[in-house]
């Protein structure tokens, strides 16, 4: 099967796939982190609620900003950097209240990059191969999450949460650098 993927689509899918893998590293074991800092299942739910509300509000603002500025590459980099800062900030979390603040930061980063990423990916899809190119992105998304979840569980079970947070942050920084240095994305 021939993959109809131009360089811009490969870069966009790869960079977002890396971000998704990093996010998935904590996903399945997140409740354990909350418990470790003195929280309970309700606190874990509340942190996700905060993340989702902040992301929803910021998505609207970010979409409007992208519509006016059209600096997709810079917006992607900013979002990836905020997510990286959030993952590194997990290292400082020792209370549920601090975790709420980290979730705000990660939610803002996610919301900032998402509209720009969606628009840029859509722009680079070729009409004749839309289904294949979107399906390939969805496959990348799912495989990235699966691999991230497995790696996160392995790292946290062997060495604890701090090395995991460092790896998650580094992965996001590398993705930001890759997007920033690309000549394919504007």
Q: How confident is the model at residue 64 (pLDDT cuts 50, 70, 90)?
A: confident
Q: How confident is the model at residue 29 (pLDDT cuts 50, 70, 90)?
A: very high
pLDDT at 1: 43
* Per-residue model confidence as pLDDT tens digits over 113-144: 999 999 888 888 888 888 888 888 899 999 99
Task: Match 């998935």 to its residue by tokens.
Answer: 24
Q: How confident is the model at residue 157 (pLDDT cuts 50, 70, 90)?
A: very high
- What's the pTM? 0.92
Q: Which domains does the chain have, with CATH numbers?
A: 7-121+131-180 (1.20.1250.20)
- Computed over its alpha carbons, how large is the radius of gyration of the chain? 17
CA pair distance 10, 69, nearest whole angstrom = 24
Confidence check: pLDDT of 77 > 90: yes
Confidence check: pLDDT of 3 > 70: no
CA pair distance 106, 112, nearest whole angstrom = 10
* Per-residue model confidence as pLDDT tens digits over 11-28: 998 999 999 999 999 999
What's the first-to-final CA gap in the chain, in angstroms?
30
């Amino acid at each position: 099967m021939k993959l109809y993927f131009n360089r811009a689509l490969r870069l966009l899918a790869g960079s977002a796939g890396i971000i998704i893998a990093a996010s998935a590293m904590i996903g399945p074991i997140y409740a354990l982190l909350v418990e470790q800092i003195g929280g309970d299942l309700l606190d874990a739910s509340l942190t996700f609620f905060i993340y989702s509300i902040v992301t929803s509000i910021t998505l609207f603002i970010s979409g409007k900003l992208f519509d006016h500025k059209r600096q997709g590459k810079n917006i992607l980099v900013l979002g990836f950097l905020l997510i990286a800062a959030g993952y590194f900030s997990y290292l400082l979390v020792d209370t549920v209240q601090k975790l709420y603040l980290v979730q705000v930061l990660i939610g803002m980063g996610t919301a900032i990059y998402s509209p720009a990423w969606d628009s840029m990916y859509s722009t680079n899809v070729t009409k004749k191969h839309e289904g294949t190119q979107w399906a390939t992105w969805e496959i990348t998304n799912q495989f990235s999450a699966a691999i991230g979840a497995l790696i996160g569980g392995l790292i946290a079970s062997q060495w604890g949460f701090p090395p995991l947070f460092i790896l998650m942050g580094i992965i996001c920084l590398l993705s930001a650098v890759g997007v920033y240095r690309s000549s394919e994305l504007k």
